[in-house]
Amino acid sequence: MEDRRDGPRYRVSDEERQRFRRDGYVHLRGVLAPAELAEIAAVYERFLRREIAVPGKDLCDMSGDYGRRFEEYSIVNVMLPRRYHPAWQGNLYELRAASIAEQLHGPGMALDYDQLLAKRPHKDDAVFEWHQDQAYWPVFPDPRTATCWLAVDDSTLENGCMRFVPGSHRGPIRPHRPLKSDRGESHTLLTDVDPERDEIRPVPIARGDVTVHDERVLHGSGGNRTSGWRRAYVVAFRAVATIAEERRLGFTHSHNDEREVLDGVGRDERGRAAR
Ligand SMILES: O=C(O)CCC(=O)C(=O)O
């Protein structure tokens, strides 16, 4: 396979750019080489062993409620790992992902948030419900997003790889509802996908590969039926002006933020219009 890595950059082909526009996601191979990935995985493991402290709800289970004990989490979610482990800021993955975001969208993109999503072995319920990321945050005029999802382990049908509804980013944001009765119990939102109408495309990828998706594409993932972890590391890029506006509203993607947005049309969890 051709090596597209070049120091802090990764070269995206024209065909991949077109696929991102058409499908709302694209699979990029070999974004990190095995030795580069091993460095990332070593720090990742420190988060999973809880050697790096993550306060409050920024350590939670994306498949259950906030009340579960850590040992019972099916999808261990660490929000904003670079905030809690500043040595990660500017790591090679962040740099390559930034170059990918720029090639997909042009200049003026910046890192909005990062996240670790690790599915424990033998967890059928480690399901990431169908959703559009846009439902999780306020709507702003510049919709450019590139959410880079790095496979730290091979991501397979059996361990819960990502699945997308290609082209759905060109449709509306569907109504979303909380997984539990309200957002105070669980951060997770979900929507409905109709297998008769929506093409569901699982995207297994090898470790070191990345999928990049648009905030409006429908996506989710299934449970982990294997004896190994399924670890992923997300870094999400958005337009600089969009991020500035989010921060002005007090929205940082931390689950400890006071502000949550439920329905992607500018309402908060109590249905109040966003200001
Ligand atoms: O890791 C997963 O299975 C889902 C991730 C996801 O929904 C996202 O990064 O937007």
Pocket flag, ligand 1, residue 232 (CB < 6 Å): yes
Query: What pLDDT, on a 0 to 100 scale, did the predictor assign at position 275?
Result: 27
| Contact status, residue 173 vs residue 262, Cβ threshold 8 Å | no
Q: Which of 74, 119, 128 to mutate to test the pocket of ligand 1 (most atoms within 8 A of CB)?
A: 128
Pocket flag, ligand 1, residue 221 (CB < 6 Å): yes
Query: What pLDDT, on a 0 to 100 scale, did the predictor assign at position 259?
Result: 64
Q: Whose CA is nearest to atom 3 of ligand 1?
A: 221
Pocket flag, ligand 1, residue 149 (CB < 6 Å): yes
The closest of 20, 9, 25, 4 to 211, measured between CA atoms, is 25
Residues of the chain under the 50 pLDDT cut: 261-275
Q: What is the pLDDT of residues 210-263, one digit of tens each?
A: 999 999 999 999 999 999 999 999 999 999 999 999 999 999 999 898 765 444
| Contact status, residue 207 vs residue 156, Cβ threshold 8 Å | no
Q: Where would I find the H helices in 50-209?
A: 81-84, 92-105
Q: b/e map of 200-209 (b: 16 or more CB within 10 Å)? A: eeebbbebbb
Query: What pLDDT, on a 0 to 100 scale, did the predictor assign at position 260?
Result: 56
Query: What pLDDT, on a 0 to 100 scale, did the predictor assign at position 265?
Result: 39
Mapped onto helix, strand or coil, the DSSP state of residue 136 is: helix
pTM greater than 0.75 (yes/no):
yes
